[in-house]
Amino acid sequence: MGNFHILEQAEAVEYARGIEGLFPAGVQLSSREIGNGNLNRVFQITDSASGRGLILKQALPYIKVIGESVPLTLDRVRIESEALRIQRELCPDLTPKVYAYEPDLALIVMEDLSDHVPMRRGLMERGRYPSFGGQIGTFLARTLLFTSDLAMDLQEKKQRVKAFINPELCNITEDLVFDAPYKKSRMNIFEPPIRDAVERIWADTELHLEVALLRESFLTKAQALLHGDLHTDNIFIKPDSMKVIDPEFAYYGPMGFDIGTVIANLLLNYSGQEGWSKDAQERDDYRRYLLDSVRELWSQFELQFRALWNGHPVDRMAKTRGYQDLYVAKLLQDTIGFAGVKMVCRVHGFIHVADIERIEDAVAREQAQRIALKIGAALIKRNRSARSIEEVLQIALDAVS
């Protein structure tokens, strides 16, 4: 990365213009910076005449939301580009096209998905996406099964694990998801009215034991190549299409972490419904839709995961009678536990979610935060005994009754 420098907007445009086969010669290109994420710069570069465009994403050598005092490896762009390549091979319809990867400048150029919306925004506007369960179920089943020991040559899989060692990005998750929310820490940000609920989490040793076990799994279980940050801002959606972006947190970890992250974000929106409608009927209907989506996601995932396992060449031991059932049962438990920690950290941790944060009414916002903490903590505590996704739905219903 010797030639790295932060691109000026005009340089970004010239870089895009130079990519062979994308724009006609002499084309007039416009550009705007649209990056609203925590880590990177994102330019949308458009041919004003045809409306065709692309996205140029450049990593900064530090954490954007904190500043230059906290360096962050540019190697994350290699991880992101390689993960995108693998995900696209496995799920061509569910990932963006990548046009260029330039390691020296730590940038990736990819398909502009502006005809989709980030799913978080879609849900905040009460969008309904009936195909989502099937789409995300496919993404999860294919990316998780086909990158695991179940379906890969065991030696190749180990090489993959090595290529995806992602210590600095994993460290962010280890700190922000598994550590800070469970103790008094400068990394926690929350509003005074929920201090009592946060302090209960800090003092709950039964909860801490479950988090320690989930953290151990995150640290040691190299089960599959994870996306690593599968929240609803990283899912772009429209009625007939869904695409997953931003796998810079990819590493070999426990499958349930990715599935749990999606579920957590649906349930954070569920919690936030407290502030998005004055009409109780409308709020309940939308909550029901979100719970149906959680159920559908899990059942589609399970169906497709089992079908792929049964229908493709897999590891000899994977055919052992009874093994698949135990594997899927444990996967559900992991999913539930990780969904819980991903909810809790977004309420009083360092990074919050707009679904709750943007509620203007302070009382409703507080209520939404309390609901999210209640669901998150209950999921964490249930993780090792859960037997069915229905338990997740019941926990969510109990939290608002």
Ligand X SMILES: Nc1ncnc2c1ncn2[C@@H]1O[C@H](COP(=O)(O)OP(=O)(O)O)[C@@H](O)[C@H]1O
Ligand Y SMILES: CSC[C@H]1O[C@H](OP(=O)(O)O)[C@H](O)[C@@H]1O
Q: Annotated binding site: which residue ranges?
A: 40, 57, 111-113, 229, 246-248
**Cβ proximity of 58 and 106 under 8 Å:** yes
Site for ligand X contains 332 (CB under 6 A):
no
Site for ligand X contains 109 (CB under 6 A):
no
Residue-level length of the chain? 401
Site for ligand X contains 114 (CB under 6 A):
yes
* Dihedral of the alpha carbons of 368, 370, 372, 376, in degrees to the nearest 10: 180
- Identify which range of 244-252, 265-273, 316-324, 363-371 contacts ligand X by CB under 6 A: 244-252
What residues form the annotated binding site for ATP? 40, 57, 111-113, 246-248
Q: How far is the CB of 92 from ligand Y (least distance, A)?
A: 23
Start-to-end CA distance of the chain, whole Å, equals 54
CA gap 191, 194 in Å, rounded: 6
Site for ligand X contains 193 (CB under 6 A):
no
- Which one of ligand Y, ligand X, none is in contact with 380 (Cβ closer than 5 to 8 A by kind)? none
Site for ligand Y contains 213 (CB under 6 A):
no
Nearer to ligand X, 9 or 324 (CB): 9
- Identify which range of 37-45, 106-114, 278-286, 369-377 contacts ligand Y by CB under 6 A: 37-45
Residue 260, phi-psi category: left (phi > 0), alpha (psi -120 to 50), beta (remainder): alpha
Nearer to ligand Y, 180 or 336 (CB): 180
Q: Which helix (H) or strand (E) is 45 found in, with range?
A: strand 40-47
Site for ligand X contains 36 (CB under 6 A):
yes
Nearer to ligand X, 38 or 185 (CB): 38
Q: How far is the CB of 38 from ligand X (least distance, A)?
A: 6
Site for ligand Y contains 80 (CB under 6 A):
no
3-state secondary structure of 309: helix
Radius of gyration, alpha carbons of the chain: 21
Site for ligand Y contains 187 (CB under 6 A):
no
Enumerate the β-bridge partners of residue 224: 253
Q: Which helix (H) or strand (E) is 390 found in, with range?
A: helix 390-400
Show the site string, 123-162: x = touches ligand Y by CB under 6 A, - = not. ----------------------------------------
Considering only the C-alpha atoms of the chain, give the largest distance between any 2 of them, rounded to a whole number of Å. 65
- Identify which range of 106-114, 306-314, 324-332, 354-362 contacts ligand X by CB under 6 A: 106-114
Q: Which of 4, 37, 73, 323 binds ligand X (CB under 6 A)?
A: 37
φ and ψ at residue 244, rounded to 5 degrees = -105, 130
3-state secondary structure of 322: coil
Site for ligand Y contains 189 (CB under 6 A):
no
- Surface-to-core class of residue 232, CB atoms within 10 Å of its CB (0-12 exposed, 13-18 middle, 19+ buried): buried
Site for ligand X contains 34 (CB under 6 A):
yes
CA gap 294, 345 in Å, rounded: 20
CA gap 223, 226 in Å, rounded: 9
**Cβ proximity of 109 and 19 under 8 Å:** yes
Residue 296, phi-psi category: left (phi > 0), alpha (psi -120 to 50), beta (remainder): alpha
- Which one of ligand Y, ligand X, none is in contact with 176 (Cβ closer than 5 to 8 A by kind)? ligand Y
Show the site string, 63-102: x = touches ligand X by CB under 6 A, - = not. ---------------------------------x------
Cβ-proximal residue to ligand Y, closest one: 37
Site residues for ligand Y per CB under 6 A: 37-39, 63, 65, 172, 176, 229, 233-234, 246, 351
